[in-house]
Homo-oligomer: A and B are copies of this chain.
Amino acid sequence: LKKIVIVGVGLIGGSFALALRADTSQQFHIVGIDRDRDALDAAEQRRVIDARGDFASALPGADLVLIAVPVRQLPTTFAAIAPHLALHDSATTLVMDVGSTKCDVLAAATTHLGEHASRFVAAHPIAGRETSGVAAAEAGLFAGKNVILAPSDANTPACVTEAASWWKACGANPIVMSAAAHDAVFAAVSHLPHLLAFALVDELAARDNARQLFSFAASGFRDFTRIAGSSPEMWRDIALNNRDALLAELDAYAAKVAALRQQVASADAEGLEALMRRARTARAKWLAGDLDSFNSNGNTEAL
């Protein structure tokens, strides 16, 4: 019987618990910790958790602590759990997070987890929903999805393998990358597009003729700006927690758009069509799962 503590019983924490329960080859005792009593009530009713607890009573003897709180609450959460881990055979308890940024999380773990930092493995499951909360949790949320593990220098290979095994038990596909590579990749393919979508909607909504503009916006605009419907608090934090990588992406994109502007200004029909054709072809290959012709530098290791 393995003991698991879920700190933050929401969509991700709850789905992790349900996914483990679906693995009938093992048995788990799952304790939930949350500041939100309603979330704990709902989690108990759905049998997502077996019991609720607090750090002092729940952490001793735990095999795994999964911290699934908003990223900005990670430093204080690390600081809160550290004393209880240190007092009770800390070498046996593995700790993971689920945040969208990784360099900042590793730094916070080093600062606040003390000697237990070597047993913390930073993780980012690439799975989400428009909905949130434990009511939306489901056992299959991670099935077939990638989970990035970003080991620190203090982690042993055995510790990373152990972290990966938990995600495999959830049906996910663990992949090891450095925290820096993770943050650079997601700055480019996720954090930048989110900021660009927020910026376009805010720019047009502030215009004198905003009503006219939006009355003619159609399905292309709707899809381009879908991610501007995301949580302001969460994306504010991601932008600030991954600031350096995001600034590099904002600069690269600004340079790209400036070059495109020059092509329009100089009526470079050939150059414009070539750019659009390259983009359409690349996107079609990506959608077809055909990445063989793409440049393949970059360190990624599947576990």
A196 touches B198 (CB 8 A): no
Whether A240 touches B254, Cβ cut-off 8 Å, given contacts A208-B295, A235-B276, is no
Contact of A166 with B by CB under 8 A: no
Of the stretches A15-23, A54-62, A83-91, A257-265, the one at the interface is A257-265
A199 surroundings in chain B (CB, below 8 A) = 253, 256-257, 260, 275, 279
Please list the residues of chain A having a beta carbon within 8 angstroms of any beta carbon in chain B.
126, 146, 148, 181, 185-186, 188-190, 192-218, 220-230, 232-233, 235-236, 239-240, 243, 246-247, 250-254, 256-258, 260-261, 264-265, 267, 269, 272-273, 275-280, 282-284, 286-287, 291, 294-298, 300
Smallest beta-carbon distance A173→chain B, Å: 11
A189 surroundings in chain B (CB, below 8 A) = 204, 213-214, 216-218, 221
CA distance A243 to B213 in the complex (A): 18
In the complex, 7 of the A-B residue pairs with CB atoms within 8 angstroms, ordered by the A residue number, are A185-B213, A195-B257, A199-B257, A202-B275, A205-B294, A228-B276, A247-B261
Q: Which residue of B lies closest to A145 (CB)?
A: B218
Excluding A205-B282, A240-B272, 16 further A-B contacts by CB distance (< 8 Å) are A126-B218, A148-B216, A186-B216, A189-B213, A195-B257, A201-B283, A202-B256, A202-B279, A203-B252, A205-B294, A223-B227, A228-B280, A230-B280, A240-B264, A246-B264, A254-B257
Smallest beta-carbon distance A11→chain B, Å: 15
A279 touches B215 (CB 8 A): no
Whether A212 touches B276, Cβ cut-off 8 Å, given contacts A193-B200, A217-B286, A224-B224, is no
Whether A227 touches B224, Cβ cut-off 8 Å, given contacts A254-B261, A257-B196, A264-B250, is yes
Say whether chain A's binding surface is mostly helix, strand, loop, or mixed.
helix
Contact of A283 (CB < 8 Å), options: B195, B229, B257, B296: B229
A220 touches B190 (CB 8 A): yes
Smallest beta-carbon distance A214→chain B, Å: 5
CA distance A225 to B286 in the complex (A): 11
A215 surroundings in chain B (CB, below 8 A) = 291, 300
A269 surroundings in chain B (CB, below 8 A) = 236, 240
CA distance A195 to B227 in the complex (A): 18
CA distance A228 to B196 in the complex (A): 15
A207 surroundings in chain B (CB, below 8 A) = 188, 295
